[in-house]
Structure 1
Amino acid sequence: MTSEFNPARRALLKYGAFSTAGLALWPGHSAAAAAMTPAPLGELGYAQVQLGPGPLERQVRENHHLVLHLDEDALLRPFRLRGGLPAPGQELGGWYDTWGFAPGATFGQWLSALARYYAITGDVATRAKVDRMVRGYAATIDAGGRFYRNNRFPSYIYDKLVGGLLDASRLAGNDIALATLRRTTRAALPHLPPHAMPRNEAARPGEDFSQHAWDESYTLPENQFLAFRLTGDEQHRALARRFLYDDFFLPLARGENVLPGKHAYSHMNALSSAAQAYLSLDQPVYLQAARQGFAMVDAQSFATGGWGPDEHFVTPGSGKLGDSLAAEHKSFETPCGSYAHFKLTRYLLRVTRDPAYGDSMERVLYNTVLGALPIQPDGHAFYYSDYTRQAHKGFHPDRWPCCSGTLPMIAADYRISVAFTDAQGIYVNLYVPAQLSWRQHGHAARLLIDTRYPHASAISMTVQTSAPQTFAVNLRIPAWATGASLRVNGRHEAVPLVPGTFATLHRPWRPGDRIELDLPLHTRLQSVDAEHPDTVALLAGPLVLMRLRDGAPPAPPSRRELLSAQPVHGNASSWRAGSGPAAVTLRPFCDIGGEGYSTYQRVDTT
């Protein structure tokens, strides 16, 4: 049992600047190491990871069912009406409304999600819906791009359409998706700005949309680079370069913290464009920008891994993160923020092989997005995680907000975040019930993961190979996991289990070989920021344990009382701290339903 008050994190919060000469973005990471970045790890395909029963698999099924049963005429209505075409079907309403806030904005995301679910399941009905959506949308495109006229979000919606059409082609084999992408780009081009424009949140409805109001042109390069890779069309590479947000990326690469005041989700999303620019252009400055930017976000994150109270980054050293706990119920834009977080950490983990990015992804998984309430059939969606002392889960008041597009996508992407490969073997990143399949040295290999982690410390893995073969199994040892142990076929393995590293088992494997990893779920405390050292969250392993509220707030506990929390016998998702009338019940966010809760507790300083 320990108390976690990270001095390095406090220093970052206080000073808000990072030295380019010393890229110590994570413990043990040096500038020399940054200059010797190995080849990126490979991703497994969606079908190569099968999730076992549990909350991740349930969230996948819920979202697949939702998008599979969305009415196609309703989905196409904004494109048809704004294009001057007949439009049967009902308005979905909310943000999606034809003449509303963001008409048709989530169409591309739902198309992308369906293509991913088809890649996962091979479901014929899912592919048929992808085909109908692409053909239906293609019939609405006109060369002049009438859809984009007087549209608040031309860049944002175009970007989502690009992503959806790319996935329809590469994951669902749609035969007209790339031709439709070319037509979409021609139609959108006259309505895009000349370069990446800052988000103009001061713009009001009815003002000149040529200023692009709240639009997010700075997120365009990622999908444009991907489109170039898939199609070879130089126009996409030119567009990617045109919209690289160097006014944001270059200061970050120099170590200047330009985050405060910026819209959190979209600028986190923009960092994936920097990562993709590095992979596409081989310019280290963009990798540096992505890593520095992520480290600056991490330094102002809540214990849950979430960031951006009221959707904006705060000023380091201002105490605003802690101040937000008093009344700011919009603590973290959860599905959208988690989607951006997963994308960026996946890029950075693959490129740097630094397991700290996996630690961060894991914390966001269990403490934010996995606890999101299911999207309702009428379009009400979980939007914000609330970290105030009077918190409840709830839905955004408007139907079909942006988070209704990203939640189905990130649920599909759990699979491609579980593990990665290289020529020597496999890197296990997320310890979830799953079956991984890949080719190693030309032979089929599988790894079966059986665990109740993070509600329990034990993780069991079984190797299945078509024949005995030698390769590496690399296991992420979280930075908090002191005292981890490892056995193979019941025997202790003399492999260094250093917190914050990958432990490597490089050996001959035979079918049925069993790996047993134990990650003790020690309790520890983390303050919200340096200016509020006595406002703390209780963690056990990767889980933030949140106090259930049942009446008047109890007297502030001591640190010792919080750290003494233990799982309730027979219910690993519920914990108790203290004893007698002053005892409190705590649960992880993913196990909280309609109960009131508090993420942070004030501790007794006496």
Structure 2
Amino acid sequence: MNSEISRRDVLRGGAAVITGGALQRMGFAAGVDAARGARPLEEVSYDQVRLKSPLHLAQLENVRSVLMGLSDDSLLMPFRKMVGQDTPGDDIGGWYQYRANYDYRKDDAGLAPSATFGQWVSALSRMGAITGDRSLGERAVRLNRLYAQTISTEYFAKNRFPAYCFDKLACGLMDAHRLAGDNDALEILERTRKAALPELPGRAVDREVVWRQGKDISWTWDESYTLPENLYLVSAQMGVEGSVYREMAGAYLDDTTYFDPLARGENVLGGRHAYSYVNALCSAMQAYMVGGSEKHLRAAKNAFDMLTSQSFATGGWGPDEMLQAPGSGKVFASLAKSHNSFETPCGAYAHMKLTRYLLRCTRDGRYGDSMEQVMYNTVLGAMPLQPDGRAFYYSDYHSRPKAAADSLQISSNQEPISAAERVYSNHRWPCCSGTLPQVVADYWINGYFREPGAVWVNLYLPSVLHWTEGEAKVEMELDGTYPDTPEVRLRMKTSQPIGFSLKLRIPAWADGATAQVNGRSASLKAVAGFATIRRKWRTGDVVTLVLPMRPRIEVLDQAHPETAAVMFGPRVLFALATDPVVTSRANVLAVRQAGASEWRMEAAHGPVNLVPFTSVGDRKYLTYIQVVG
């Protein structure tokens, strides 16, 4: 592959149409990919993976510490206030608090009382499964018991986001049941569902559409169209007893205005709220995986291609939380107008779920490429969640001069650029404080997938995976410092010799990838982004994979070919500069490493240092530079 070809072009692909006969379903993950006649790949469980990456572990410890530091009474306070119960403890404030007289035109604190509670219960349950720390799961169960004492329709009646909050509560209760051993969680969920029903619209209602009369516009920001994902998952968890949740999921599929046109290949993303409508695509995937609807798989695949075509080089999307119409030029314009480029933890959570589902169903490595791109260039570089509720909300890609002219000529009196920087949100306990703990926990299940006779390696994170293959117990250790270096090693330990296929994702940018088994060259032919090594494995076998990394250029879009990002492997290299950086194509392709996680590039005004997002720190930076010649 030519190193100058935009990776976006490789990822975009075509909007394939799935055809075939009726799909048979037997609950979650029992569907088939109509194109391949295979069941979706299985997720590994949280406790099957031991992650060793310092960056990932640091994020897990950060969110664990913050969530465990919040008191039970503080977390229950908005529920108790809204149903008229006593409220001991301290109010943590921010979006999480309840204010009966909240006015969105004047107030920030009080926007979404209790909205992140279910997400935090979910995260505690997931982290408990990951770490084996029983106190995390016990905390989740205890919080559910306390919440159960407040269940009332009154809570949903006073809530401007009843569907959003019900969705998060359902997720938390479901995860507590399956991961923390909460035997009462599903009964609590059913009580919650019955309490919520009178205050839900009964169908998918698009954002900004009035369905509660006599309320201000902030009451139209609810997200009923995201409900089906967790409802389908709950129904699969419950089996035959979950039929009411499956029926409810079907009622909230946003078909008429969203999934139906997407399935036909019509791009209806423009003007929609970015995070929630991308998150809704996860509902489409569950409509396929649990409900058997090929139409919804087609809609999700088409939408992913449409989303990729308007994404930044980081994989992020939705400047100012809005998706854009094709050809509008608004993504380019946002570089000069906005510092709110990508709603990072929320957007990454939705994106990584969607790509996980798509990869499992299609076995196409481009979805793994996209997941990896978003992980390294957005959420893995998020600033730590703080105990007072300060959270990293937006990634900032502001990188064009304030001057109206977009001249590429260097001028000593050119107006200075307003560079990008990592900053905390002005909001305390915003939505991203709920999704960050969830996306961080999901690092543990995004790296590997399984099917009988094969293990699929998606992310090359230092880790240990253990599983049972036939009658053999297998442990595979992934070692290396990827993506700082191109070499990855996988060491096998088996209770007895056992044959299975090792499926290795070969990123689209890794031209010339090679592999060795026990020091001998192995054939590495990638099909749909995965290469297969099939053999009888024994303890001590070592696979060495080399994924060559070269600098390459990714333009923002074809209308602005001079506005480009510098890519190296899966990562964007951000220029540590505040003035416009103008350089040549040859200089970009000659970027050289100058130290640990630092590169250097020649430019018109002299050498420029570049770093990955995880190394930016508190320095100002540019995502996009001007490439000429």
Q: Taking structure 1 as the reference length, what is the TM-score of the superposition?
A: 0.93
Cα deviation 1:18-62 (Å, max 9, x = unaligned): 575999xxxxxxxxx963342100111000011014211111111
Q: Which residue of 2 aligns with 1:27?
A: none
Cα 1:603–1:22 change in 2 (3 A) is farther
- Match of residue 430 from structure 2: 401
Q: Does 1:387 align with 2:426?
A: no
Question: 1:211 and 1:198, CA in 2 relative to 1: closer, same or farther beyond 3 A?
Answer: farther
Instruction: Pick the aligned partner of 2:150 from 140, 150, 154.
Output: 140
Distance in 2 of aligned mates of 1:161 and 1:435: 32
Q: Distance in 2 between matches of 1:82 and 1:138?
A: 14
CA shift at 1:133, angstroms? 0.3
The structural deviation recorded for 1:105 is 0.2
In 2, Cα distance between equivalents of 1:8 and 1:58: 34
User: Map of 1:101-120 to 2, 5 A cutoff?
Assistant: 101-120=111-130
User: Which residue in 1 is equivalent to 2:77?
Assistant: 77
Secondary structure of 1:406's aligned partner: helix
User: Which residue does 1:561 correspond to in 2?
Assistant: 587
What amino acid sits opposite 2:568 in the alignment? A
Inter-partner Cα distance in structure 2 for 1:405 and 1:479: 32
Contact 2:274–2:323, Cα closer than 8 Å, also in 1:
yes
Shift of 1:289: 0.8
* Shift of residue 174, structure 1, vs aligned partner: 1.0
Instruction: Give the counterpart of 1:282 among 280, 292, 304.
Output: 292
Distance of aligned partners of 1:9 and 1:322 in 2 relative to their CA distance in 1, 3 Å threshold = farther
In 1, Cα distance between equivalents of 2:476 and 2:282: 29
Indicate conservation of the 8 Å contact 2:11/2:370, yes or no.
Answer: no
Q: Is the 8 A contact 1:366 1:543 kept in 2?
A: yes
From 594, 598, 610, the equivalent of 1:574 is 598
Equivalent residue for 1:479? 508
CA offset digits 1:424-445 (Å, max 9, x no partner): 1100000010000111113211
Checking the alignment, whether the CA contact within 8 Å between 1:339 and 1:409 is kept in structure 2 is yes
Q: Distance in 2 between matches of 1:219 and 1:438?
A: 33
Task: Give distance in 2, aligned partners of 1:502 and 1:582.
Answer: 41
Contact 2:69–2:387, Cα closer than 8 Å, also in 1 = no
Instruction: Tell me how far apart the structure 1 counterparts of residues 622 and 561 of structure 2 sit (CA, whole Å).
Output: 17
Change (3 A) 1:391 1:474: same
Q: Which residue of 215, 223, 227 maps to 2:222?
A: 215
AA aligned opposite 1:68: M
The answer as to whether partners of 2:16 and 2:298 remain within 8 angstroms in 1 is no
- Seen in structure 2, the aligned counterparts of structure 1 residues 161 and 519 have a Cα distance that, compared at 3 Å, is same
CA contact 1:18–1:256 (8 Å) conserved in 2: no
Q: Could you say what secondary structure the match of 1:582 adopts?
A: coil
2:494 maps to which residue?
465
> Are the structure 2 counterparts of residues 42 and 548 from structure 1 closer, same or farther at C-alpha, using a change threshold of 3 Å?
same
- Tell me the equivalent position of 2:280: 270
Matches within 5 A, 1:294-309: 294-309=304-319
Structure 1, 224-233 or 43-52: larger mean CA deviation: 224-233
Give the C-alpha shift of residue 67 in structure 1: 1.2
CA distance in 1, matches of 2:211, 2:292: 37
The amino acid across from 2:276 in the alignment is S
Structure 2 segments unaligned to the other structure (5+ residues): 21-32, 100-109, 400-418
- Contact (CA 8 Å) 1:199, 1:213: kept in 2 or not? yes
Q: TM-score, normalised by structure 2?
A: 0.89
Question: In structure 2, what is the equivalent of residue 243 of structure 1?
Answer: 252
Letter in 2 for 1:233: G
Question: What SS does the corresponding residue of 2:474 show, helix, strand or coil?
Answer: strand
Per-residue deviation, residues 143-183 of structure 1 (Å, max 9, x unmatched): xx111123210000000000000001100001211111011
Aligned residue in 2 for 1:28: none
2:567 pairs, out of 531, 536, 539, with 539
Corresponding position of 1:64:
64
8 A contact 1:150–1:209 mirrored in 2: no
Give the secondary-structure state (helix, strand or coil) at the position aligned to 2:290.
Answer: helix
Long gaps (5+) in structure 1 = 24-32
2:235 alignment partner in structure 1: 228
Provide the residue aligned with 1:30 in structure 2: none
Determine helix, strand or coil for the equivalent of 2:422. coil
Equivalent residue in structure 2 for 1:151, among 143, 153, 159: 159
| CA-CA distance at 1:531 after TM superposition | 1.4
Check conservation: 1:10, 1:529, Cα contact below 8 A. no
- How far off is 1:134 after superposition? 0.7
Distance 1:413 1:253 in 2: 28
Is 1:340 aligned to residue 347 of structure 2?
A: no
**CA, structure 1 residues 210+173, in 2 after alignment: closer, same or farther (shift >3 Å)?**
farther
SS in 2 for 1:597: coil
CA distance in 1, matches of 2:558, 2:479: 39
* Residues 198/91 of structure 1: CA separation in 2 closer, same or farther (3 Å cut): same
Q: Does 1:355 align with 2:365?
A: yes
Q: Does the CA-based 8 Å contact 2:454-2:500 persist in structure 1?
A: yes
State the Cα distance separating 1:230 from its structure 2 match: 1.7
The partner residue of 2:455 within 420, 426, 435 is: 426
Give the distance between the partners of 2:90 and 2:223, measured in 1 at CA.
28
Aligned to 1:412: 441
Instruction: Give structure 1 regions of 4+ aligned residues with deviation exceeding 6 angstroms.
Output: 9-12, 201-204
- Give me the whole-angstrom Cα distance separating, in 2, the residues matched to 1:430 and 1:559: 30
Secondary structure in structure 2 of the residue aligned to 1:173: coil
Identity %: 46
Q: Report the Cα distance in structure 1 between the residues aligned to 2:207 and 2:526, rounded to whole angstroms.
A: 45
Taking a change above 3 Å as real, the CA distance of residues 258 and 559 of structure 1, as seen in their structure-2 partners, is same
**Structure 2 CA distance for partners of 1:9 and 1:475, relative to 1, 3 Å:** closer
In structure 1, how many angstroms separate the alpha carbons of the residues matched to 2:592 and 2:311? 26
**What amino acid does structure 2 have at the position aligned with 1:235?**
V
Q: CA deviation at 1:314?
A: 0.8
Aligned to 1:187: 195
Matches for 1:434-513 after TM superposition, within 5 Å: 434-497=463-526, 501-513=529-541
SS in 2 for 1:520: coil
Q: CA deviation at 1:9?
A: 7.5
What secondary structure is seen at the aligned counterpart in 2 of 1:233?
helix
- CA displacement at 1:604 relative to structure 2: 2.7
